[in-house]
Amino acid sequence: MLELHEKAPDFALYDAHENLHRLSDYRNQWLVIYFYPKDNTPGCTKEACALRDDNEKFTNLNTKVVGISTDNSKSHLGFSEKQSLPFTLLADPQGKASAAYGALFKLGPVKFCKRHSFIIDPTGKIAKIYRSVLPSLHSQELLQELHNLQK
């Protein structure tokens, strides 16, 4: 289980446009990584749209938002376009990054991400862990915590 102030696990995942992203790409800025179960489902859409609507507030806090699920890049592209998401969605179909963050749920051959989030500081260390997330309130919760952490 990951702990606060521990180095965040690295990842190498593709976005909706098949561009490779690594944790190191986000050095020197704050990063919110949010894991979510599935594109185009009610709770995941609610959470993504709340993050979308608050995107300017995250930008003002020098923070990038990245969503990760086990859906593939094509699914992410459709979801991102449909909801006009201004942030990156990363595909983790093998579940390796999700597992490294303790966010992978497996039931036989079925695997998906649990709704967990992490705030990573500019040095790449975990500043906050959320293991219980309410989709409609989470964006505001993240913004408040980022404000507190950056004081």
44 in catalytic set: yes
DSSP letter string over 74-139? HHHHHHHHHHT--SEEEE-TT-HHHHHTT-EEEETTEEEE-S-EEEE-TTSBEEEEESS--TTTHH
All residues at 6 or more sequence positions from 16 whose CB lies less than 8 Å from its CB, including other chains? 73, 74, 76, 77, 80, 88, 89, 91
**Catalytic residue among 32, 44, 85, 127, which?**
44
Residues classed as catalytic = 44
